[in-house]
Structure 1
C-alpha cells in the first residue's frame, strides 16, 4: 500500500507580498523556498515527486551540510540564491516502508526548527547592533534573555518569541492511501488538503497590544516598553536601529517592523551572507538599459577616438566620486544590487563605474529638498556624463536613450496545471513533469531573463514565477520566455503524455520606479488573471501604470493564424512583431506618433459600438467599423510616413498588414466579437509609443 502525501507552508501571499523593497519580495520567496527544502530533506527527498530537487542549487545549499544552515560549496552563488522551490511538496511513500504521519511531522519540525534558528541569529545580531550585546572584543557570552533584560524590556523578548513561533507560518499536511490509479490518488490527497485548509483549525492567540508593523500591518512592531506613542516608537527606531552602522541602510526612515518582517529584511545578509544589495532596486532596473548602452558604447568609441573615450571614462569616474561624497553626506547607500547580465557580458573594469543604485542616474533624485544642497556636485557630474555619452553615441552612430524611470514587473503561470495533474496516469509521468519544470525554473528562465538581458528573477518555482525587466526588454523578453517554455516543457511533455497541453500565460505591469511596489505586485497578478481569463488561456496581458491618469491595459494570444492582407492570405501573426516594428519606426522617425493622435480623433466613427445599439443594427455597425479601421490605418500611416522610395513603400505595406492582423486579433474572443475592440487596439498602440519614448518622463 502506498501513501500519497502533501505538505504546504503558508500563508504565501501574506508573507511574500508585504514588500516595500524588491529585496523584501525576494527574501520572502527565498525563505519559503529554503524552509521547504529543509522540510523535503527531513521527509526524505527520494520519496518526493514534486518538486524535483536533485539538481536544484538552492536545495543543495540548504541541505548538503548537516551542521550548517547554508553551504555554497561547489555551487554558483547566483543559482543557489535564486528562489526556485515552491511552498509545497508532493510525495509518495511506497509499500508502507514509513509512516506518512511521522514523515510529515518530521518535515514540519525541520522547517520550524530552521525558521527558529534563522530568527534567533537575527535577534542576537539585531540586539548587539543596537548596543545591547557583548562589548567589542569581549569573550563573554550574553544570553538573549540577559540581553533583553539589559533593555529593561521583558515584553520585547516575549513579543519576539510569540511572533516567530505562532504568528509567522502555518504548516499544513495531508495524506491518503494510494489506490490503483495514480491520478485518482493524487486528486484524493489534494481534496484532503483542501478540506484541511477549509477546517481552519488553529491555535487561539491573545490579542496584540501596541503599535503595528509599518510593513505588514499584521503584527505588533518590535520596540522597548518605554515607547508608548507612535512618535516615540519611530524615534527609537530612527535613533537606535537606523543609528547603528550595521543596520543604517537596511531600513527606511519611519519604518518600525515586527519580528517576522525584521527577520525577512535581515536574514539574507546576517544569516545567509548574501552581499548587501544583491537584489537590484526598482530604480537600478529602470536605468539598466542606459547602463547597457553606455557600456556597449565604450569599445565602439575606443576604436574610433581614444581621446574621446578618455573623456567618457573620466566623466564616469567623476560622477561616481561625487556620488560617493554625496552618499556619505546624506547617509544613503551607494553600491547596491547589480543585474547578473552585466557581470556575464562586460569587463569588471568598466562595470565598477556603474556599481551604484539607479537613483544616482535619475535627476529627480537630486532635487529632493532634503538632499538638494548636498548632492549638487553629483548632479552636475551626472549632467556632464550624459552630455559626453550622448556626443560619443553620435560619433559612432549608436543609439543612446536617457535613463528611463520605468521598469517592468512580470508574473508567469502554467495554464490548466490542476487539470493536467489530475489526468497524469503514472508516477513516472508525474516525475517527468516535475523534472521539466525544475529545469525550466533553474536553467531556461534564468537564461532568457538574466543572461540574455539585464532582468532579475525574484521567484521561479515550478510553473510560476515573478521577475523584473528594464522597459526596453519587454517586447522581446515575453515572447522569448514563451518560446523557451514550449521548447523546455510543453514539447518534451507531449512525448511522455501526448494529450498534455501545458501552455504559459504572462501578465506584466509597467510602472515608475517610485511607484509603491506592493501595489505593483498586486496589479501584476491581476494582469496575469486577465491573461488567463482569455479563451484557451495561453495569452499575455500588459498594464501601464501611469503616474497620472487611469491604467491602460491590453491583452492577446501569443500567436495565431489569421486571414488578412489584400489577397486574403493566411498570416502567422504575433502582436510582439508589430510592437517591435512600431517601436523601431518611432525611434528612427520613420513614422510620426501624430498618426496615433489622429486615429484617436476618429473615435466617433471607429470606436466601439455603444451599448444602447442592439440587434442587427449593432452587428452591422460593428462590421462597418471593423472594415473602416483597416482603411483609416492605411491612410493615416501613409500620411505620417517619412521613409521614401521602394524600401519605404515595402516597410509601410508590411506595417499596414500587421495593423490589419492586429485588428483581426483584437476583434475575436474565442469565436465571439470583442465589444471593446477599439479600446484594446488603442491600448496596444499606446504601449508601442510608450516603450519607444522610454516611458513617461
Structure 2
C-alpha cells in the first residue's frame, strides 16, 4: 500500500526576518530553499507531488522559490516509506552541517570563516557547532493512503500539524554577549567572552577579511548570522549559494528610480556623477567605497536596469562605479561622518560639505524637465522610503484538500511554480525596479521603491487569479500587506510590519484584501486596508488615480487634513444620518474644488472615488477566520460592520498614502485637468 510523506523544515519566518541587511534576508531564504531542494532530490521526481522542483530552480540572481514544505507519494509499505523519510531528513541535515566532515553550508562557511581568526580555539568551534546543530528543525509524517486522496491529504496535513506541536527543545545555554542580529545567540569570540574580547574579536575579523563592507563596525555575530553573511564566499558553497551581483540594500531599493533616471540620461549627467564620486573617494578608498568582486567594482543587481539601459552605458566605467556605491550615498541624511567611517574612511567637515554640494548639483540637474516618450517629464529626487510587500494565497490548504487526486495536485503545483518563476519575476523585477526575496507561487516577499508598490501588488493579485483560472483552478485569491518604511528603518521591524499588514488583510478585511502600514520616521504611523474589489471597482486602481492627481498638482496637498475636519464634524455616530450623505458630498466637493488646477471632471472623479471607498463591505465577502486556521470546517467569522467614522477615517489614511506615493513619482509638466 502506498503512503504520503509530508516533510517540513524550519524555522522559516524567524530565520528569514532576523536579518539586518537585505542580502542576509535574501540569502536566508535561499538557504532554506536549497535545503528543501536537497531533501526532494533524494526521491524519484515522479514521486513528488508538491512542489515541482524542476520548475523552481533558482540561479545566482533569482529569488528562492522552493517552499519549506513538500509532499511525496511513496509507492511501498510503511517500513520503506519511514526509511525514505529518515533518509530525506539525514540528507537535509548533512546539507546544512556535517560536523564530522565539516561539510554542508555551515561546515564550508566555518572553514572559510576560521581563516580570519588568529589561532581559532576548540571552544570557538564548539560554540559554532552548538549553534548551527541546534538550529535546524525537520519534521516528517507518513500516512497510509486509503484510496481517497482528498481524505488522505487532510489526514497528512493534520498529522503534520500535530507533529509540530511536539517540539524538540535543546537545553544548551546561550550565555554572554548576544548576537547583534538574532539577539538570542551568543556572539562568537575566541577568548574569555568579556565585552572587550568580543569587541576586539569582531574588529579583527572586519579588518582581516577582504570585503570591508561585509562586516559593520557594530556587528557581533553568532554562527547562524555568519552563515547568512558569508555562505556565498566559500568556493565549495558557490554552486548552491552563489551571488553573482550584490543584492541591493534598503537605501539602494529606495534610490533605484533616481539611479535609473540618471542612467537614462547618462549623456547629460555622467560628468556630474563622476565629480560626485571623486568627492567620495577623497574620504573613502575606492576598494572600500565600491562593492567589489574579484578585485573589480560589482554593481547591485536590478533586472529592469540590465534589460532597459543600453549596454554601452552599463559597461561605462563611470556607470559601473555609480552602480557599485550603496544607496546611502544618494541621500543627504546618510551622507554623514558615521557612514563614511562605516565604509572604512574618514571625513573632515570641508570634505563632507564638498560631497554634499556635488550630490546636490547632481540631483538638481537630474530634476530638470526632460523629454521622454514624447512627453516632458520631471523626475523627483531620491525618495527616502521603500516598500516591503508580503503576499499570500487565501486558504490554499483548503483548496488543495479539494483537488481530488494526485494528478490534479501535481498540475496545481506545476502551475504555482511556473507563476512564481515567470510571472512574479517579470512583474516585480522586469517591469518594475523591485527585488524578490522569495516567490513560492502563492507566497511572495519583495522589496520595492515607493512608486511601484501599489501597482505591483495589484498586478500580482490579478495575474495570479487569471493565470490559475486559465489552468482550470478557479476562485483563487491572494491577500497582501505593504509596509512603507524609511530607508534607515530597522529591517527586522519592517519585515514584521509587512507580515502584520498581510494578517490584517486576512483577519480584519475578510481575505482577498490589501492592508498597508505607513511607518513614518517622524509623526504618527498610519494603518489602512480594503478589499481588492469594492462594489465591482478596483480599490488600488482608484488609489492610483488619486496618486496621479496629487503628482500632477490637481489635488491640494492639505486634502487629508481637510478631510479630517469633515470626519470630525459630520460623521458622529450620534448624528442624525438622514441627509448626511448629501451633506458630506457637498462639503467634499467644496474641499476638492479649492484646488484651482482641478477641473470639474477631476472634482467629480475624486468625489466618486471617495464615496466608493467609504462604502460598507458586504458581509458575505467578510471571511475573517484567523490566519493560522488550518481546518476548513469552521464557519467564517464575520467582523462587525465598521461605523461611518471608521470608514471615513480609513479613507483619510488612503488619501494620505496617495499623497505620500505621489511624492515619489515622475511628474508630467503642464498637466491640465
Residues 220-231 of structure 1 aligned to structure 2 (within 5 Å): 220-226=186-192, 228-231=193-196
Residues 12-91 of structure 1 aligned to structure 2 (within 5 Å): 12-58=12-58, 77-79=60-62, 82-91=63-72
For the 8 Å contact 2:37–2:66, the answer to whether it is kept is yes
* Separation (CA, whole Å) in 2 of partners of 1:219 and 1:235: 18
| CA distances 1:315-364 after superposition (whole Å, capped 9, x unpaired) | 12222333344332895555552322111111234343531211111111
* Separation (CA, whole Å) in 2 of partners of 1:25 and 1:545: 20
Deviation at 1:241, TM superposition (A): 0.6
The yes-or-no answer on 1:284 pairing with 2:235 is no
| CA distances 1:12-46 after superposition (whole Å, capped 9, x unpaired) | 12211111111111111110000000000013332
The 3 A distance-change label for structure 1 pair 52 and 624 is farther
* Separation (CA, whole Å) in 1 of partners of 2:355 and 2:243: 26
Task: Compare 401-410 and 213-222 and name the one that shifted more.
Answer: 213-222
Match of 1:233 among 184, 198, 201: 198
* Separation (CA, whole Å) in 1 of partners of 2:401 and 2:182: 36
- 1:651 aligns with 602
- 1:326 aligns with 283
* Separation (CA, whole Å) in 1 of partners of 2:468 and 2:310: 34
What is the RMSD of the two structures over their aligned residues, measured on CA atoms?
2.5
Deviation at 1:674, TM superposition (A): 1.5
- 2:212 aligns with 248
Deviation at 1:473, TM superposition (A): 0.9
Task: Compare 434-443 and 663-672 and name the one that shifted more.
Answer: 663-672
* Separation (CA, whole Å) in 2 of partners of 1:690 and 1:667: 29
- 1:634 aligns with 589
* Separation (CA, whole Å) in 2 of partners of 1:466 and 1:530: 16
Match of 1:175 among 142, 145, 168: 142
Deviation at 1:542, TM superposition (A): 1.0
Deviation at 1:192, TM superposition (A): 1.4
* Separation (CA, whole Å) in 2 of partners of 1:281 and 1:523: 18
| CA distances 1:601-626 after superposition (whole Å, capped 9, x unpaired) | 233323452xxx5xxx7xx44x6544
- Structure with greater Cα Rg: 1
The 3 A distance-change label for structure 1 pair 323 and 336 is farther
Match of 1:261 among 211, 225, 230: 225
The yes-or-no answer on 1:690 pairing with 2:655 is no
| CA distances 1:413-442 after superposition (whole Å, capped 9, x unpaired) | 000112112222111111111111111111
- 1:507 aligns with 481
Using the size of structure 2 for normalisation, the TM-score is: 0.86
Deviation at 1:382, TM superposition (A): 1.2
- 1:124 aligns with 111
* Separation (CA, whole Å) in 2 of partners of 1:368 and 1:606: 51
The 3 A distance-change label for structure 1 pair 525 and 41 is same
The 3 A distance-change label for structure 1 pair 453 and 459 is same
For the 8 Å contact 1:129–1:246, the answer to whether it is kept is no
Deviation at 1:392, TM superposition (A): 5.5
Residues 571-586 of structure 1 aligned to structure 2 (within 5 Å): 572-586=536-550
Residues 298-697 of structure 1 aligned to structure 2 (within 5 Å): 298=266, 309-310=267-268, 312-328=269-285, 331-334=288-291, 337-351=300-314, 352=319, 354-355=322-323, 356-368=325-337, 371=340, 373=348, 374-391=351-368, 393=370, 397-494=376-473, 500-534=474-508, 536-561=510-535, 572-607=536-571, 609=573, 613=574, 620-621=576-577, 625-643=580-598, 648-664=599-615, 670=622, 673-675=641-643, 676-694=646-664
| CA distances 1:272-318 after superposition (whole Å, capped 9, x unpaired) | 263476211000000111122333345xxxxxxxxxx44x2211222
| CA distances 1:572-603 after superposition (whole Å, capped 9, x unpaired) | 42222222222222222222223332222233
Match of 2:167 among 200, 203, 208: 200
The yes-or-no answer on 1:104 pairing with 2:85 is yes
- 2:671 aligns with none
* Separation (CA, whole Å) in 1 of partners of 2:151 and 2:165: 21
* Separation (CA, whole Å) in 2 of partners of 1:431 and 1:15: 29
| CA distances 1:378-404 after superposition (whole Å, capped 9, x unpaired) | 322211211222235389832210111
Task: Compare 229-238 and 375-384 and name the one that shifted more.
Answer: 375-384
* Separation (CA, whole Å) in 2 of partners of 1:201 and 1:655: 57
- 2:101 aligns with none
- 2:132 aligns with 164
- The residue matched to 1:674 in structure 2 has which SS? coil
* Separation (CA, whole Å) in 2 of partners of 1:108 and 1:296: 50
* Separation (CA, whole Å) in 2 of partners of 1:84 and 1:682: 37
- 2:670 aligns with none
Deviation at 1:179, TM superposition (A): 1.0
| CA distances 1:630-676 after superposition (whole Å, capped 9, x unpaired) | 22222211222424xxxx32233223222222222679884963121
* Separation (CA, whole Å) in 2 of partners of 1:214 and 1:595: 43
The 3 A distance-change label for structure 1 pair 385 and 218 is same
* Separation (CA, whole Å) in 1 of partners of 2:312 and 2:571: 55
- The residue matched to 1:664 in structure 2 has which SS? coil
For the 8 Å contact 1:39–1:111, the answer to whether it is kept is yes
The 3 A distance-change label for structure 1 pair 398 and 6 is same
Task: Compare 282-291 and 98-107 and name the one that shifted more.
Answer: 98-107
- 1:66 aligns with none
Using the size of structure 1 for normalisation, the TM-score is: 0.83
For the 8 Å contact 2:615–2:647, the answer to whether it is kept is no
* Separation (CA, whole Å) in 2 of partners of 1:680 and 1:625: 18
- The residue matched to 1:604 in structure 2 has which SS? helix
Task: Compare 670-679 and 84-93 and name the one that shifted more.
Answer: 670-679
- The residue matched to 2:615 in structure 1 has which SS? helix
Structure 1: unaligned runs, 5 residues or longer: 59-75, 133-149, 299-308, 495-499, 562-571
Deviation at 1:627, TM superposition (A): 4.3
For the 8 Å contact 1:667–1:677, the answer to whether it is kept is no
| CA distances 1:511-541 after superposition (whole Å, capped 9, x unpaired) | 0000000001111111001111245411111
For the 8 Å contact 2:7–2:139, the answer to whether it is kept is yes
The 3 A distance-change label for structure 1 pair 78 and 542 is same
For the 8 Å contact 1:279–1:336, the answer to whether it is kept is no
For the 8 Å contact 1:285–1:469, the answer to whether it is kept is yes
For the 8 Å contact 1:212–1:218, the answer to whether it is kept is yes
